[in-house]
Amino acid sequence: MLIVMIVPIVVSVDQAHSLREVQAMKRLSSHPNILQLHELIYDKGSGTLSLICELMEMNIYEFIKGRQCPPAESKVKHYMFQLCRSLDHMHSHGIFHRDVKPENILIKNDVLKLADLGSCRSIFSRPPHTEYISTRWYRAPECLLTDGHYSQKMDMWSAGCVYFEILSLSPLFPGRNELDQINKIHEVLGTPDSSLLQKFKQ
Residues marked as catalytic = 99
CA–CA separation, 168 vs 182, rounded Å?
21
Contact (Cβ atoms closer than 8 angstroms) between residue 178 and residue 143:
no
Contact (Cβ atoms closer than 8 angstroms) between residue 47 and residue 10:
yes
Residues 6+ apart with CB under 8 A from 201: none
169 HSE (CA, 13 A, CB side): 11
Residues 6+ apart with CB under 8 A from 145: 182, 200
